[in-house]
Structure 1
């Protein structure tokens, strides 16, 4: 496992805290929270880029900017729309098809060889995700728009992740610029459709933590992993995220720890081991 794949694993680890921090900031409207978190990540990211004297790295082609902004803003806009139009369990279940799509797109779009171990490992991850998020869920026609948004979110994030490899000449510093534009677009959408709520100290701290980790450093690490690491392995290991998120929620007292959760964790761990051996 090279350093870039390890960096991608760091992003997966940070995303495990997304649900916990989002739950702590639940009083903030979704688009407002997105704008706040991405503002934090943009300010920190641009500060580091400026300190390194690499602001010129932001001068990239229109294609690079479309790829970056559509990936970050497009995914989050579709994901939050899915949560608004469909039950959370089903929306999450469909959204977490993106790791499997990354594995498949690595072969279809990048020409990487997919072994049976890659595919079997990814399917074990899907099984763990279905077991964790799909228990008792039933798809309904009334929530069809939400399901479409969730599938769209999965497709957008998988394409953003895999196609990043075609932008290897674009430095990771540009992610700071993508975060800044995403913050502006999210703020514009928020003021259009949501009422602004000033958060209390706990929710504000959670929003800042989101901007530092899951919607901040994680994107820089993921960019490195997708451009120079093994997207097949990272796509499989990404199924750790929903399980780890649930375990953290259980540890914080927001959800009960059940045998289903432990069984899902075992399936995901098995999938990761199978894929790693490939």
Structure 2
């Protein structure tokens, strides 16, 4: 609660909320852009060019921000800025960069050669459930009944997506595309969890910049193919891949990291549930693509399963119950220490 109340606001809306909204819209546009560029660039080449287009402006922004933050008047919340994180923090940033910026991007690019943009976004948004599963395995939150129910519903949705195919002739939504989409979701969830740990000691901008840099290094093997494909691409394709680097990567990951550093990972992951609806509307308007009716039903089941799993995992509420029982059973409500715990 404290971070929310102390966060700056614009027109009554907190900056973390505005940052999350910016991220959601830009990430939604990325699904459409990736689908549109599938004929111009291969998955690895597109990832390399996108990260190259992201690292350049991020480097400039980092340099400018660091110069401004040298002033004693600079006030900021969150971790203090560091030139380069050291030790465990450095390893976390590099790991999340390779997993999310490189691995996730390549798999998503590949998946969208088999899936329409809307279907791909529906599959990727299984990530919040995977975050909840990881929390149950490694953070001691367990596997309550509602998480199991949500997982079951979401899995049924994946089956329907794969069985429903696509309304677009060249996006046949085969099992390879579905598996690639799920694998991308796994790397997405992994990136969120690792990044959340890194942001405890590394500021959001540094984490985003170094993460993108790590992803760029990981995709260097695709550089020769990227140069060759870039020479054959038209101006609109080049502009689109630059947009993917500047908008959905440099800007969106920075705003995501800013918001993630000021809220919990589960809540932030849940905000991305609105992405598929935006993607489907954009791809319909710009690409004339839609999932089939069965695929949309499957997507609704996926999102519903994720919502059930995330909404009904309130660890604070579970811990609060034992504290309220002694206050209710105490015969004398006048006990001093009982008063604070009641509120």
Normalised-by-shorter TM-score class: 0.7 to 0.9
2:102 maps to 73
Give the match's secondary structure for 1:183.
Answer: helix
Structure 2 unmatched runs, 5+: 5-13, 70-80, 166-171, 315-343
Per-residue deviation at 1:158?
A: 1.0
2:187 maps to 156
Q: 1:60 aligns with which of 69, 85, 89?
A: 85
Per-residue deviation at 1:248?
A: 0.8
1:33 maps to 46
Residue 233 (structure 2) pairs with residue 206 (structure 1): no
2:24 maps to 12
2:213 maps to 180
Residue 253 (structure 2) pairs with residue 219 (structure 1): yes
Change (3 A) 1:103 1:158: same
1:232 maps to 266
Structure 1 residues 249-264: aligned runs within 5 Å: 249-256=283-290
Give the match's secondary structure for 1:169.
Answer: coil
Change (3 A) 1:197 1:96: same
Change (3 A) 1:115 1:14: farther
Q: How many residues align?
A: 271
Moved more, 42-51 or 190-199: 190-199
Give the match's secondary structure for 1:189.
Answer: helix
Residue 194 (structure 2) pairs with residue 169 (structure 1): no
Residue 117 (structure 2) pairs with residue 104 (structure 1): no
Contact 1:12 1:238 in 2 (8 A): yes
Change (3 A) 1:193 1:203: closer
Give the match's secondary structure for 1:228.
Answer: coil
User: 1: distance between equivalents of 2:280 and 2:183?
Assistant: 23
Moved more, 48-57 or 36-45: 48-57
Residue 119 (structure 2) pairs with residue 88 (structure 1): no
Return the TM-score normalized by structure 1: 0.74
Bigger radius of gyration = 2
Return the TM-score normalized by structure 2: 0.62
Per-residue deviation at 1:215?
A: 2.0
Change (3 A) 1:237 1:188: same
Contact 1:40 1:208 in 2 (8 A): yes
Moved more, 91-100 or 235-244: 91-100
User: 1: distance between equivalents of 2:149 and 2:259?
Assistant: 22
Structure 1 unmatched runs, 5+: none
